[in-house]
Chain A
Amino acid sequence: MVNLSPRSTALKWANSQMRYALKVALRHLTSNPSQTSLLVLGVAVAVFIFIFMSALIGGLADLMVNQTLGGMAHVTLAADDHELPQLETGSDATVLMARQRSTVANTGIQDAVLFQQVIDQVPGVAVSSAQITGGGVLIRGERVRQVSVVGLSHDRVTAIIPFEQYLLQGQLSLNGDGVLIGATLADDLNLTVGGTVALRTDSGNIAMLRISGLFRSGVGQLDSAAAYLDIRTARSLFDMPNGVSRIELKLDDLYDASRVSDRIEVITGLDAEPWTATAEQLYQGLKAQSDTGLILKGFALVTIVIGVASSLMLSTYRRRPEIGIMRAMGSSQQFILIVFVSQGVIIGFLGGVVGAVFGLAILTPLTPAGDVQPGQLPIDVAQGSIGLAIFLTLLGATLAAILPARSASRIDPVEAIGQ
């Protein structure tokens, strides 16, 4: 008497067949090397397009962000406006006084140091910078220029604006009477490093400042109408013995600005404004660019899926008699399934790796070492999502193989052999 295998034993048996199924799959692929090479090449080209699009969109976004947002905070925190007292309590009440909300004096953020300690711990925050801001004019002889004045902590001068990249002459130290100005403004006022200039603030205070450094950011407003000085100097110039005007933040991921700013608003009660609100057009432009990239990458993945699926469909059809023979020899449906899914996995893996190697080989020399020059593509191969490209290709090819593999496993051996 022969013992028939129960279903669970049959499943274990199917698992043990994996290795041999892989051999059969490889044999199918190597039996027609030109067809397999073409298929792998097709997948590799799609993977290359995926990597190229990721590197280009990422590099382009960085370029745009650096050029426009380089000197801009990702999130700006200001004190919440005070609630106006209820002036009208009923329909018959007399209005004693009406005052526009925006004209209420903002006393700034008090206890900024404590706030900064909390904010610096919020996940996603890279660095914070407490600042005192105001308006004023720089006066040198008969030349007068309107400027925005920003007082910075001496240890966070480069926290928001990368002055270290923009510095042309002098140094970044802002101790005491030092001031950093743009090269355009310096030209206008005929100033050089070490020169002195008078600053008269909107509140009427005057100080003599020494030019400690000149910078060129490429952003017109910064280069021609801004002055950066020590926060302690700014404190006396703007009559703010306590508190700060605002706290600016740089984030690890600038696209996370809305979420982080919402969170900080809840934690601190301060008004938090992400750059996506202050520079909405730029944000929309970047988003549209990113969405376009996603669509193109999606098309590349669809190409992979269609390519692998159609090729395996054809292979399944062409190999029907063989599948019939394998079934007659005792191959289970799972075995046939594994044989054809494995082919998809192998093609996806090879195509992914070849595409990634192509991508690295072609895009690395195209990645600008420093600043992007006119006419140069702002490709950043580091943002090529190579791992993601290989993973998605492998996943896509595997999913693409499932349908033909299921169809192969369900082939009726009697019909297949009888063909």
Chain B
Amino acid sequence: MNNLNPEPLVELRNLTKTFGTGETGTQVLKGLNLTVPRGGMIALLGASGSGKSTLLNILGTLLRPTSGDFRMLGQDLFEADDATLTDFRNRHIGFVFQFHNLLPDFTALENVIFPSAVRDGIETPQARRRGAELLDIVGLSDRKDFRATKLSGGQKQRVAVARALMNQPDLILADEPTGNLDSKSAEQVMSLIKELNEREKTTFIISTHDESIADQCEIRVEIKDGRI
């Protein structure tokens, strides 16, 4: 089934990113053009050092591009200040990282509702209900009061997926979400992502080296030497 919506979620035009300045500067992204439609699953492929993570960080508003156009949901994010980008990130973007995914001193449920609590300044009863529902969806309702440190790697990634969905974002960025998992857990996490993409119509951009994961996505974007 195809979730793609013709209205673009993200538009990148001639996007560059250079680390450092002058002769010692390294240009990682070299005039990149990309349109991400709403509702799809996009695989971001490329060798190490190709610029995948840099692109993912720019899309997540964690990193600023050096030049070019960067629009998401129709907004120009190139010139936005840190507070604006932080607020935008909280409301519209979810993350699933490969490592260091959860806050270790918090329970599974507290981790899931963190983006909502940060937005509202409090863990509201509604947020706790939605968090519990999301944990139920990822099959961890019996682990909601477990500290993050008491969860297995696969369970942590599933909690991370639930957390990424908490604020009903338009885009979820997953950086090697299964890279640190055994094959069974990896399969569970990917089927969960696909299911949520179907159900919530959330756009996923998944950075991966794994061809089998890329095959499960509707769009493949390959980066080589900073270009698509």
* A15-23, A134-142, A154-162, A186-194: which lies at the interface: A15-23
Cβ A4 vs Cβ B121 within 8 A: no
Residues of chain B within 8 A of A95, CB atoms compared: none
Cβ A330 vs Cβ B91 within 8 A: yes
What string of 1s and 0s marks CB contacts (under 8 Å) between A1-19 and chain B? 1101111011101101111
Q: List which B77-125 residues lie within 8 A (CB) of chain A.
A: 80-84, 86-92, 95, 97, 99-106, 114-115, 117-123
Q: List which A1-58 residues lie within 8 A (CB) of chain B.
A: 1-2, 4-7, 9-11, 13-14, 16-20, 23, 27-28, 30-31
Cβ A324 vs Cβ B100 within 8 A: yes
Question: Known contacts A7-B81, A325-B100: does B90 contact A1 (CB below 8 Å)?
Answer: no
Confirm or deny: A373 has a beta carbon within 8 angstroms of a beta carbon on chain B.
Answer: no
Residues of chain A within 8 A of B103, CB atoms compared: 322, 325-326
Question: Known contacts A2-B92, A324-B100, A325-B97: does B122 contact A331 (CB below 8 Å)?
Answer: no
| Closest A residue by C-beta to B97 | A417
Residues of chain A within 8 A of B87, CB atoms compared: 4-5, 9-10, 13, 330, 332
Question: Known contacts A324-B100, A419-B100: does B119 contact A330 (CB below 8 Å)?
Answer: yes
Cβ B118 vs Cβ A321 within 8 A: no
Interface size on B, residues (CB 8 A): 41
Confirm or deny: B168 has a beta carbon within 8 angstroms of a beta carbon on chain A.
Answer: no
Residues of chain B within 8 A of A11, CB atoms compared: 83
Cβ A328 vs Cβ B84 within 8 A: no
In the assembled complex, the CB of B94 is this many whole angstroms from the nearest CB of chain A, namely: 9
In the assembled complex, the CB of A213 is this many whole angstroms from the nearest CB of chain B, namely: 73
What string of 1s and 0s marks CB contacts (under 8 Å) between A328-372 and chain B? 111111010000000000000000000000000000000000000
Cβ B88 vs Cβ A2 within 8 A: yes
The prevalent SS among residues of A at the interface is helix
Interface size on A, residues (CB 8 A): 39
In the assembled complex, the CB of A36 is this many whole angstroms from the nearest CB of chain B, namely: 12
Confirm or deny: B73 has a beta carbon within 8 angstroms of a beta carbon on chain A.
Answer: yes
Cβ A17 vs Cβ B121 within 8 A: yes
Confirm or deny: A414 has a beta carbon within 8 angstroms of a beta carbon on chain B.
Answer: yes
Question: Known contacts A325-B97, A413-B62: does B105 contact A331 (CB below 8 Å)?
Answer: no
Cβ A329 vs Cβ B57 within 8 A: no
Question: Known contacts A10-B84, A328-B95: does B74 contact A1 (CB below 8 Å)?
Answer: yes
Interface residues of A (CB under 8 A from B): 1-2, 4-7, 9-11, 13-14, 16-20, 23, 27-28, 30-31, 321-322, 324-333, 335, 413-414, 417-419
